[in-house]
Structure 1
Amino acid sequence: MVALVALSALWLVLAFRLPSLRGSAQQRATTLAFLCFAVSGTLSVGGVRASVGSLSGIPDVAILLGHLSALLGVAFFLELGVGAWRRLVRAADAVFGSAAVAMVVLFAHIPRRQDEPDFGYWHATAPEVVAYQALFQLCLAAGLGLAGVMLSGQARAASRGPLRTALRLLWLGTAIGLVYVGFRVWYVLAHGFALVERAARPVYGAVTSLLLYAALLSAGVAALIRVGHQVTVRLCRQVAYHHLADLWAEVTAVVPTAVLEPPPHPLVALVSIRTVELRLYRRVVEIRDAQLAVTGHVPLDVRETARAELRSRGVEDDVALDACVLRIGLALARRGGQPPERPSTPSWPQDPSLDAEAAGLAALADATRDPAVVEAADAALRTTAGRDES
């Protein structure tokens, strides 16, 4: 059950991360690391091992492929290290490469048969088997230890949130992995030198398997936390993008030059969740540019009139004032004419991040439909028209 959950988590992560293979070097390294871990974990399942060996005609080849995948996954994961870690990573890559070649050579000399799957069980005392398994476990221990130290520093430096939680779970995975390696080294040496009865081996094998899948599960859940956070952010941005559609259409109809690029078809925008950040950023910029141009048609004294009209209706809010001035500006811009010498300017949010800007514009869009704002804008326009006529 633990194996099924762990492997399902890893493959689910890959389903979301595969498009990132076309991204940055760091994104590719992360995706390839989880791909290698998923392949290695899958090849450790008894039924899968037997099927691979039967189809390829090479007994226990799945064990070799699984071990090589695990080392490659650790190597990809260590690629995430920066600064002083780079020299250690280069050294680890050289060690892993040499160990992989040695494992292939030893594998070729290990006695293996299709009717005796898992040479570590049937030929535990063979020198080639002891050397092969000890070499793999020691390399795995070195890689996991290096990754654990690296993750520990990154987790302490990360701010509180999903990233720190994911890093801590990854660190936990490396810690469990080191415990697994410890059991495996003892298992290999104890059986290799006949210190343990063969009848007891399934018990130790069950313990090591549980530790292996617990480590993979920890890594998979950590990645799912990051994936879940990213998906949640993208969904929220998708909602914000569509929430701003009416406001965008209204202001860009008056200021068409603010449009940087025509938006995609609504159905395309709905399913293109990976490009939503760029589309939302463009929509925010276009609305802000149009808002600045529109409010530029509103004299400062009219803005103060709008403020007074809002206060008379019990509304004292900067967002409501900006919405009221925006409605007045849209009406004045449609009439044409030259902007005043002392135009109004909208208030800008303190937080310049994309999500904060989108939230501010969403509040502005809602405020423009507030009956009190609509009435205040109409009243201010009537007052302005009366002044102009007098």
Structure 2
Amino acid sequence: MSHVTLAALLWAVTAWRAPSLRHSPKQRALAAAFAALAIAMTAEIPRVSDAVDHLTGKPGTAYLIKHLTGAIAASAVLDFVTAVTRPAGTLRKTRRVTRYVAWTAMVLTFLLAPGADARQEYLEGNDQSAFAVAHVAIFTLYILVSMAVATVLFLYAGAKSPRGWTRAGMVLLGAGCAIGIAYSVERLYYITLAALHPMSDSSRQFHTGLSDDLKFVAIVVIAAGSCLPPISIAVEGARAWKNWRALAPGWAALTSAVPHVRLDESPPRYHITHRLRRRQGEFEDAILAVRAYCPPMVQQVAAATLPEPVLADAAWLLVAAQRAQEPGAVTAPAPHPSLAIPADELTVHHLCRLSHALADPRARDFAAALS
């Protein structure tokens, strides 16, 4: 994967997550992490790095921007997972002091190092400078520690999460951070080799390529893991909308007979989960209301006439709804009939089946014959 492709992917994720900036501190932290990663990867694009160096007049400035924004991204990821696992915060002051000390040290060591052109590999032109080696080492150690802590916390959060999509997202985030550990270890090994003795071009290319591959994979896995929980929300919303639509026929058939069960105000259209709960509650209340108008004999005849229990329930409910709308309608003697499914086992799925059965011509013909 090229730097341009990865940068485009990160900017896309950043734009997608931009609305979450107004939600909560942990969502802002994750959005900030991807924005910082997008800037870091953009700074690695040769044309961009050349333009930044030319603009500032300091060779390697793009490299410093890449490291600073990369460190900011690691801090933001750590803030996010800390908020997820321990909302009150863990060692907040220690983390804050550590990051500011590390960022300051990165800037100072960069400014004190020779101004060699480090567009492709900073240590190629600065491997004899202690400040340049220290700059890269500080950045890499900071990433290593941040990713190590984040890996443990993400896997812990995944193990504790009761929801499958969220659990998978946390595990993927933990896996991405674990790959970030491998990237950091590889970079530290390379830094050590470069500081101890000159390296051949083939050896430099191997280590540079390996660290780039690890970095790309880590970022992609982290991006994928961060997208799973929002995708799960979208999937749940789509499922809620589908069930809301499926309840419509039965809900309309019964609540029209007992309109007092309908609440005056409805949730906004975009609160589909709340709208589903409202419709489900009104549907259940309508069942309880209309069943009082159905003599037990009608239920017995429906059960004997129609092949399926849910179809029989729909048939006698339609009869009850018709009688509830008759002028001077009175309730039938108790006990009132109940659905074939016990009330404590009634789910949205069962209500959707009942709603479909209420629109079935066989149930409607049965009700019409007894009208």
TM-score of the pair, normalised by structure 2: 0.83
Return the offset for 1:33: 2.9
SS of residue matched to 2:307: coil
Measure how far apart 1:24 and its partner are. 3.2
Q: Structure 1 residues 103, 263: CA separation in 2 closer, same or farther (over 3 Å shift)?
A: closer
Aligned counterpart, 1:371? 361
Change over 3 Å in CA distance of 1:350–1:213 after alignment to 2: farther
Q: Which secondary structure does the structure 2 equivalent of 1:196 belong to?
A: coil
1:200, 1:188 → 2: CA distance?
A: 12
1:26-84 deviations in Å (ceiling 9; x for gaps) = 33333333333333334333343334444555543333333222222222322333349
- Structure 1 stretch 321-330 or stretch 9-18: which is displaced more? 9-18
Instruction: Kindly indicate whether residue 63 of structure 2 is the aligned counterpart of residue 63 of structure 1.
Output: yes
More displaced 10-residue stretch of structure 1: 4-13 or 21-30 = 4-13
Matching of residue 310 in structure 1 with residue 303 in structure 2: yes
Residue type of the alignment partner of 1:61: T
Q: How does 1:266-305 map to 2 (within 5 A)?
A: 269=269, 272=270, 275-296=271-292, 298-299=293-294, 302-305=295-298
Partner of 1:386: none
Is 1:155 the counterpart of 2:155? The answer is no
Aligned residue type for 1:30: L
Name the CA shift for 1:9/1:231 in 2 (closer, same or farther; >3 Å). farther
Shift of 1:241: 2.5
Q: 1:250 to 1:369 in 2, by over 3 A?
A: closer
Percent of residue pairs identical: 25
User: Residue 218 of structure 1 aligns to which amino acid in structure 2?
Assistant: V
| Shift in alpha-carbon separation, 1:263–1:227, aligned structure 2, 3 A | closer
Could you tell me whether the CA contact under 8 Å between 1:37 and 1:73 is conserved in 2?
yes
TM alignment of 1:91-240, pairs within 5 A: 91-112=94-115, 119-159=122-162, 161-197=164-200, 200-240=203-243
1:334: how far off? 1.8
**Partners of 1:137 and 1:181 within 8 A in 2:** yes
* Kept in 1: contact 2:315–2:363 (CA 8 A): yes
Matched, 1:327 2:335: no
Contact 1:6 1:213 in 2 (8 A): yes
Which amino acid counterpart does residue 50 of structure 2 have in structure 1?
A
Between the aligned partners of 1:197 and 1:128, the Cα distance in structure 2 is: 22
Does the residue aligned with 2:90 lie in a helix, a strand or coil?
helix
Q: Which residue identity does 2:177 align to in structure 1?
A: T
Structure 1 stretches of 5 or more lacking a match? 383-390
1:185 CA displacement: 1.2
Q: Which has the higher contact order (CA 8 A, sep 6+)?
A: 1
SS of the residue corresponding to residue 215 of structure 2 reads helix
Q: Is the 8 A contact 1:137 1:184 kept in 2?
A: yes
Unaligned ranges ≥5, structure 2: none
- Give the C-alpha shift of residue 215 in structure 1: 0.8
Q: CA shift at 1:184, angstroms?
A: 1.0
Is 1:23 paired with 2:27? no
CA distance in 2, matches of 1:135, 1:222: 27
TM-score normalised by length of structure 1: 0.80
Moved more, 364-373 or 48-57: 48-57
Deviations, residues 188-223 of structure 1 (Å, cap 9, x unaligned): 232234442456423321111111101111112223
SS at the partner of 1:123?
A: coil
**Partner Cα distance (1:52, 1:289) in 2:** 66
What is the alpha-carbon distance in structure 2 between the residues aligned to residue 58 and residue 251 of structure 1?
75
Cα RMSD of the aligned pairs, angstroms, is: 3.2
Comparing 45-54 and 201-210, the one that deviates more:
45-54
Pairwise CA distance, 1:143: 0.7
2:265 corresponds in structure 1 to 261
The answer to whether the 8 A contact 2:113-2:131 is kept is yes
CA gap of 1:227–1:50, structure 2 versus 1, over 3 A, is farther
Moved more, 80-89 or 250-259: 80-89
Q: Distance in 1 between matches of 2:56 and 2:313?
A: 70
Q: Counterpart of 1:24 in structure 2: which amino acid? A: S
Q: What is the total number of aligned residue pairs between the two structures?
A: 364
Q: What is the aligned partner in structure 1 of residue 43 from structure 2?
A: 43
